[in-house]
Structure 1
């Protein structure tokens, strides 16, 4: 992440009267807080999405700069601070009454970065790219505060291209040519109109056609034009795609662009197509708009949004990767949901299994089912089992309406799986006593419980496999 870093300060409170000294509101201060702003906020958002992040930017070793150092360190962002003469750390102070900003105070010096500073940027970038061992991306966050002139942007793009790394740009210049070589340029509609020389006030088809024709010049891979509540227009060489934004109550648009650029960058670095990456960015921006102030959107936030938006058939019901499953379970817990866990071989799914799963699901909001692997089943049941391979057993369970997630474990018991997802309730059949349930003692450590479910008499996979008829009164 390369760009104009700043500190965003918020003084929050309530206004109950007008000053007797002048016709101005009196704010009763409740909170004074600081967050990363500008390119620093984008860097913090990228780190929150799980990516290793290096910020190359200029800020001063003053009080605001030291506060920014602290915020970046806590977020896990690696900092490469570049000197820009005697310019102080850029600071924006917003005074907020309730949900309404009543005044903003900016402290900034937009003196341009000198030649030595530009060389330091390129050296820091080259070093970061030389050290990379996994896929990455370079983000240019241009706030027109003196950090990035056209020559430095061209040098950054050149270094990135020599390392075969895509460049994503959040622009502020009137000249699109400044960003030649970028894989994606993400202006909002007003910025795109200005670059295209338009006086348009609304994103109609005619104005978007002009923007596409004038801004998608040679060397620019794609445009992602933010249309606020309407969504994002993704303009590529031979296509245009509108990505809508889910309707929500907008609290504050501060920092939404930083969240979007973070989502696009992490998406591209993860191997997504441009369209897929912009969809992630658009989702992140929507979440940020629903929060007051300059917000940070996490990977868990995105997972939760995906779960909310996805149809039941699109939810990732069968998950063998425990890390991925743990993240999804954590998202459900963060949303206040109660997670229940059950396990077994489930070789031939029968009425007894369904009865247990139904009761288990009634104990919470999310049911995770752990299935013994084929090898684990053979050790437990003998060499003639399982009758069905684990993939088939998992697929059948995934189709049961009471089950939310299905996973598999290779061990003889599900203890390690239980420790990985930390369910609120562990369910077993009445052929177990509570003190015999694997993971029960572990669950106590995080406040979990064990629940014993009554089993149906005379129903088992063994009886079914031997062709024995089950009769119940």
Structure 2
């Protein structure tokens, strides 16, 4: 596996702070809740959060943002140290900070402070943009993207650029691969573009599709992906849109979910994925982010350098879910010729927890178990197909005949098996129970097997060489 391509994030950093406590009474002098046992937490916000989320995937990330000498800027610098490479722009005023007051995880109040803006670009910032392989613009309307607009326009002509816009900022530069406004932001932007637009039929999807098509044309972007909160995203290239639904309705703190969506879209485009696949992966990642605890799922320490190993990524995902108090589910198999029985099992397994890791046999392991001629599909392709399923969060690989060693590293709460194993001894059951886990059987579709599919395919006339093929592989 090759090392993931580096990502450049350009935008406005913020300082986010949470004051969390419990509410049991109202104040005696006014009908307002009293928050007691308050705990204070700070984290990078805005573009700095997007950069940290991208870096948490084990990717090399550079952040260009405006910072000053004020205490909020100093806090953000300290939190970014060791996570991302920082290229600072000069800041006029003090860095913007946002403080949420929460009780039992629910926001009661937000306080905004600081109206600092990027003063100007720098030669180093322009040089870094000129050499970037992929760019995420996280615009929070504080001028960082505006000061570098010309350099970003040049970058959009040669590399994938994802632009996460803000109503206080400017529109994306022409040529952006994907713009990612929320449904409310898309509505506000579209009204600015078409002030004479007459109201049309109601319905969120209909309005979002209309707004997205308007913005594709007005902004001259290749596409616009309107995020719909827990429902997913609507991707438009200007014509009939593509609906990308969330794999589930995740419950949790949505703070930063839009940054997670934009960062994932950018990293997948950097790795050469198609726009549709990148948006699908981003919806999946944003849903998982909320389910894993939102901003609480970010590790306190910077992520280790990326190795490109899917097993390392799976172990990291399981650790984050466990740290956030979620349930890790694992399922295993060869998954050679993925079929409906596999998909049904994996979908049911994912619904039983907050993260599904699929443990897949290596090519050598499949060959030892199934004989020469197997696997029919090589490991890299099996991993890619599994990752494409909305219900799969990560894929891990084991080279042994059985997955016990890998299970010992993952330590899932649930080890999912098909119902066809009901009468079969499972030696891994004792191992899973040793850390408090449970083997769970899920219904399995009868009559589906890779071997059966392969045998039936071998008996078809075309497989036997009885049907002549034309230049395109079809009939003459």
Give the TM-score category using the shorter length. Answer: 0.5 to 0.7
Q: Which residue of 2 aligns with 1:146?
A: 143
Structure-1 residue corresponding to 2:69: 61
Between 176-185 and 9-18, the greater mean CA deviation after superposition: 176-185
Quick one: distance in 2 between partners of 1:156 and 1:81? 16
The answer on whether the counterparts of 2:141 and 2:168 sit within 8 Å (CA) in structure 1 is no
Contact 1:154 1:180 in 2 (8 A): no
Tell me the secondary structure at the aligned position of residue 6 of structure 1: strand
Question: Which has the higher Rg, Structure 1 or Structure 2?
Answer: 1
After TM superposition, the structure 1 = structure 2 runs for residues 63-142 of structure 1, keeping only pairs within 5 Å, are: 63-74=71-82, 76-85=83-92, 87-111=93-117, 113-114=118-119, 117-118=120-121, 120=122, 123-127=124-128, 130=131, 136-142=133-139
Aligned counterparts of 1:285 and 1:123: Cα–Cα separation in 2: 32
8 Å CA contact 1:60, 1:83 repeated in 2: yes
Contact (CA 8 Å) 2:14, 2:45: kept in 1 or not?
yes
Picking from 144, 148, 158, the partner of 2:154 is 158
For 1:256-271, what aligned pairs fall within 5 Å after superposition? Answer: 256-271=257-272
- Aligned counterparts of 1:32 and 1:103: Cα–Cα separation in 2: 14
Q: Which aligned pairs between 1:404-443 and structure 2 lie closer than 5 A?
A: 422=409
Cα separation, 1, equivalents of 2:14 and 2:295: 12
Query: Structure 1 residues 339 and 253, CA, compared in 2 at 3 Å: closer, same or farther?
Result: closer
Q: Deviations over 1:355-413 (max 9, x none)?
A: xxxxxxxxxx9996867949x99xxxxxxxx9725647999xx9xxxxx999675xxx9
Q: 2:176 aligns with which of 167, 173, 182?
A: 182
Query: How far does residue 160 in structure 1 lie from its aligned partner after superposition?
Result: 4.8
Number of equivalenced pairs: 354
Deviation at 1:108, TM superposition (A): 1.6
Distance 1:174 1:272, change over 3 A: same
The partner residue of 1:16 within 24, 28, 31 is 24
Deviations 1:214-257 (A, max 9, x none): 54347311000112233211001454201112332433332111
Whether contact under 8 Å (2:13, 2:47) holds in the other structure is yes
Question: Does structure 2 retain, via aligned residues, the 8 Å contact 1:88–1:109?
Answer: yes
Cα 1:423–1:207 change in 2 (3 A) is: closer
8 Å contact from structure 1 (residues 176, 195) kept in 2? no
| Structure 1 counterpart of 2:372 | 388
Residue-by-residue CA offset, 1:332-372 (whole Å, 9 max, x unaligned): 57566698999xxxxxxxxxxxxxxxxxxxxxx99968679
Kept in 1: contact 2:163–2:172 (CA 8 A): no
Distance 1:421 1:94 in 2: 39
Deviations 1:254-299 (A, max 9, x none): 211111101111110111111111112212222344466645579x
Look up the match of 1:44: 52
Aligned twin of 1:170 = 164
Counterpart for residue 325 of structure 1: 311
- What runs of 5+ residues in structure 1 fail to find an aligned partner? 299-320, 343-364, 378-385, 399-403, 426-442, 448-473
Structure 2: tracts of 5 or more residues without a match: 1-8, 192-196, 300-306, 334-355, 383-393, 413-430, 436-476
Say if 1:8 and 1:93, in contact at 8 Å, map to a contact too.
yes
- 2:219 matches 1:221: no
Using the TM superposition, give the Cα deviation of residue 148 of structure 1 relative to its aligned residue in structure 2, in angstroms: 3.3
TM-score normalised by the chain length of structure 1? 0.62
Residues 276-315 of structure 1 mapped to structure 2, 5 A cutoff = 276-290=277-291, 294=295
**Secondary structure of residue in 1 paired with 2:91:** coil
Match of 1:438 in 2: none
- Residues 372 and 322 (structure 1 numbering): CA distance in 2 closer, same or farther, change over 3 Å? farther
Deviation at 1:67, TM superposition (A): 2.0
1:465 aligned residue: none
Question: How far off its partner does 1:20 sit?
Answer: 2.9
1:286–1:325 distance in 2 versus 1, CA, 3 Å: closer
Contact kept? 2:87, 2:125, Cα under 8 Å: yes
- Residue equivalent to 2:245: 244
Aligned equivalents of 2:260, 2:172: Cα separation in 1:
23
SS state of the match for residue 262, structure 1?
helix
Comparing 11-20 with 321-330, which one deviates more in the overlay?
321-330
- Note the aligned Cα RMSD (angstroms): 4.4
